[in-house]
Amino acid sequence: MSVISVPQAFNEEELYVDVESIFGQSLLLKCEGFNFAGSIKLKAAAEMVASAERDGSLTADSVLVESSSGNLGVALSMIAASKGYRFVCVTDSRCNLATRLMMEALGSEVHIVAGQEANGGFLGARLDHVRRMCASDDRCVWLSQYSNPANWRAHYRTTAPEIERSFPRLDVLFVGAGTTGTLMGCARYFRGRQRPVRIVAVDSVGSVAFGGAPGRRMIPGLGMSMRPPLLDESCVDEVVRVEEADTIRACRRLARRGFLFGGSTGTVVSGAIDWLTRHGTPELTAVAVAPDLGERYLDTVYQDNWVQDLYGEGPLDGGRLRAVP
């Protein structure tokens, strides 16, 4: 029996889904969506808030401010409600409606900004808005998930050791790349172990996190329109890039077998399956971090009209998954 008094005290750490029967490759998904925030972002949010409290920058009259495409905003909304902080989430039009409503239900303010990809993208517009808020009100405390070392430390302390305890003979770990907090925490942890683990980052096509041309990205979660300040590429063995159409294919194929995962998870799964198809062997122990669940994507990834309008009929066909090396 688990009895808790604050929502951030609970997180399922040892649930894995074997997807070999669905995709034909041996891959275990570490499910990080079974907590009251609904995603892996709970870990980073809790660590960043705790760090700000310890160093004295976050006090009772502070106003928490953060830029988020969705999941971190929900996690911070939950923690702020639990601790009595005021929280303002700065997001953009790509943020799922269910996510925005959830943050508001938890008592947070949601500011939706507009931006053009050619002029720094949605992220640039969000960061400009946050900076203006902080300049105009000295009560504002910006946790800055993009540069805050507490982001990656959360996963160095929790996610990576959890995986190692379950799979001491791990061969390859697939981690999605957004702020790269999860990626860097896991990569740094396994770099310090005696047994080598191959770290494969999974990014979205159109993201510039690892270089390359910027492009349209409509599914919130993974990918960045700037180089992540937390990223140290020397810790990463390989990068796989996934088209959003294949993110949708992976999500829908999982859903047809009863597993409703989110867009970030679909991207990681698509990239991992492509990599394993090219490099995998039967004896390989492969784990992928599945950051989110799918309820917040019902009006996008799982909505036929939305998919058809943006990507055509292709993602609805259940065809094979393709990733871009």
Residue 319, pLDDT above cutoff 80: no
CB-based contacts of 2, cutoff 8 Å, min separation 6: 10
Q: What is the pTM of this model?
A: 0.94
pLDDT band at residue 1 under the 50/70/90 scheme: confident
Q: What is the mean pLDDT of residues 209-225?
A: 91
- Quote the mean pLDDT of the chain: 93
**Alpha-helix runs per DSSP H in the chain:** 20-23, 41-54, 71-83, 97-105, 121-136, 149-157, 159-166, 181-191, 244-255, 263-279, 304-311
Position with higher pLDDT, 69 vs 168: 168
pLDDT band at residue 318 under the 50/70/90 scheme: low
- Spell 17-40 as b/e; 16+ CB within 10 A means b: bebeebbebbbbbbbbbebbbbbb
Q: What is the mean pLDDT of residues 23-51?
A: 97
Q: What whole-number percentage of the chain has pLDDT above 70?
A: 96
- Give the residue extent of every domain in the chain: 7-36+150-324, 41-142
**Residue 322: per-residue pLDDT:** 53
pLDDT tens, residue by residue, 87-107: 999 999 888 899 999 999 999
Q: Nearest 5°: phi and psi at 217?
A: -135, 120
Position with higher pLDDT, 35 vs 322: 35
Position with higher pLDDT, 280 vs 78: 78
pLDDT tens, residue by residue, 121-168: 788 899 999 999 999 999 999 999 999 999 999 999 999 999 999 999
As a whole number of angstroms, the distance between CA 211 and CA 32 comes to 28
**Residue 282: per-residue pLDDT:** 85
**Residue 42: per-residue pLDDT:** 98
**Residue 93: per-residue pLDDT:** 87
Can you tell me whether residue 124 is helix, strand or coil? helix
Pick the CATH number of 41-142 from 3.40.50.1100, 3.30.390.30, 2.170.16.10, 1.20.1270.10: 3.40.50.1100
**Residue 253: per-residue pLDDT:** 97
Q: What is the mean pLDDT of residues 291-306?
A: 95
Position with higher pLDDT, 139 vs 321: 139
Is residue 17 within 8 A of residue 29, CB to CB? The reply is yes
Residue 320, pLDDT above cutoff 70: no
Pick the CATH number of 7-36+150-324 from 3.90.550.10, 3.40.50.1100, 3.40.50.620, 3.40.50.300: 3.40.50.1100
